[in-house]
A and B are shown apart, each in its own frame.
Chain A
Amino acid sequence: MSEQEDIIVTDNGEETIHHKHMKVALDLGTRHAEFEGIDMILAQEEYYAKVLESSRSFWKDVTLYVTIEPCVMCASALRQLGIGHVYFGAGNDRFGGNGSVFNIHTDAELPHSPYPSEGGYYRGEAIIILRKFYVGENMHAPEPKKKKHRVLKEDLP
């Protein structure tokens, strides 16, 4: 999604949640899917009340399913919450915090308890979804890369 499309959206005065999220995601490097999910849960009265009562006992019954391995930031966030279980699709050898680059989920030194995390589910599908996203261009980057000639590769490592 380009800057120009942002402008069109706000021009109509109708910023849908989806668009807004895309925009925020591009302005801010930290709005990862895990945080979107956590905030969507906390936005619901019923769950928020439970969290206020006892955050730990609420999150220990929550399982996260995510297409790509949580990054180091999200891995730590999930540990601080006390997530019950994490299942992910493809590993992330550039940012991954659940085994690829760091082992935040099992680190014996960090505060809070470790949590179980398993990856590899629908790995191929997960990689293709991410590639489809990166075939698009990020106009917010300092020097946006021209990706006109980029095509979606379908072979898997």
Chain B
Amino acid sequence: MLDQVLPEAEVKSLETVDVYIATIEPKQTNQVIKFIRSKLPATQSLDHIKQIRKTTTDAGELALSAQDLGQLLEQAGLASIVTPRIHGVPKHPPLTRAQFEVWKAAWPTTFREDTNRHPEISNEDEAAIVGHIQSAWEHTAEAASKGELPIVAMIVDPSTQKVMATSYDTRTSTGHILQHAVMNCVEAVAKRERDGCQSQINQHRQRQSHTIDGKTTTTALTTKNGSEAASGRESLLSPICGEKRKKNPVNDTESSASSPESTATPLLRDEEAGDSDVKRVKKAYLCTGYDVYLTHEPCVMCSMALVHSRVGRVFYTVPMVASGGLGSQHKIHSHPNLNHHFFVYRQVGYQAQQDRVKGQCGDDGSVDELLALESQKIDC
């Protein structure tokens, strides 16, 4: 079971807003509702609130909107049966079952569970995820051996489980303190796209010059090629949100998820794109829908870079309490004002890393080593 970092709106506790309520006899319900609908202003942004709460004594209670009620009730001849009082009802619609269960005690609300908010991760998918995060950790040794901070990012296309790029932090060697693993990795994916695009252009040009020698008209071939590209674009169009790529089952035998080692790429180098890949590579827009594996929770800069890159899901192992932008200090992946949201899971593979460190240095150093960067408040 992966620990999803939920948007703030999904974990916030009950907030109430005061409204007038009144206890009435069931047979008076229609009369009172008619009065509310015709004489009282509509309640603002409380569509989730049920109008009537049944009480144990078999009488109903009505949520009324707050206004100058007394006079209106007099005029409607209801003053004798409706005695309004103030009561707090949930201000926001509940987004999770947990919130619903607690909030409904304050006043009944409507609730429809939105499964898109908490996508189920199959056992197969989870095994692939654990394999990839493990693979990311294996690359930390290489980073450390070059004197870099042991922070690794890996970007994977979840529809094929293919690793698009793996990068580590290079701020130490370059003296450029913003060259974090995530920044390097999204750049590596973009470079891969460009190179794929470039080799396609070269092929195109080669074929074109060939044709000119053969005295075929250039325009005809260009059109043919153009339409090929266009049909390719249609069938391989990048999905707009991360969801769609995930729908493809994980059954690519060539790069099976069960053996992440076989798909791991050399650091800071693009995976070699075979000829057959070229067209597909060109179609991706930024990192749309890709999965991102991180040894550490990214800093605010890197978190926002992932928003700009339109990634679909992020998995990280070590939460960075002081600097993290995906759950610790901020939740940049789910801020309502930002134009792209993605799913985040934390402490993925944490136990495995703890066990690994324990195996290496004995019980004492285990947690300390894993949290070394965290305690130094490093931005990852």
What is the interface of chain A, defined by CB distance below 8 A to chain B? 3, 7, 10-11, 23-24, 27-30, 35, 38-39, 42, 48, 51-52, 55, 71-77, 80-81, 93-95, 97, 101-102, 104, 107, 109-112, 140-143
Contact = CB atoms under 8 A, between A and B. Distances in A.
10 contacts: A24-B190, A27-B193, A30-B308, A95-B304, A101-B337, A104-B300, A109-B329, A111-B377, A112-B379, A143-B240
A6 B190 CA distance: 15
Contacts of B237: 142-143
Q: Identify whether the interface residues of B are mostly helix, strand, loop, or mixed.
A: loop
Contact of A111 (B176, B178, B190, B323): B323
A138 B173 CA distance: 35
B335 A101 contact: yes
Contacts of B193: 27
B47 to A, nearest CB: 26
Interface in B308-337: 308-310, 322-323, 325, 329-330, 332, 335, 337
Interface residues of B, number: 45
A70 B120 CA distance: 36
Nearest to A95: B338
A30 B183 contact: yes
A36 to B, nearest CB: 12
A94 B308 contact: no
Interface in B188-223: 190, 193-194, 197-198, 201, 205
A3 B196 CA distance: 13
A76 B300 contact: yes
Contacts of A73: 300-305, 307-308
A76 B305 CA distance: 11
B198 A80 contact: no
A104 B329 CA distance: 11
Contacts of A102: 300, 330, 332, 335
Contacts of B308: 29-30, 71, 73
A27 B190 contact: yes
B286 interface: yes
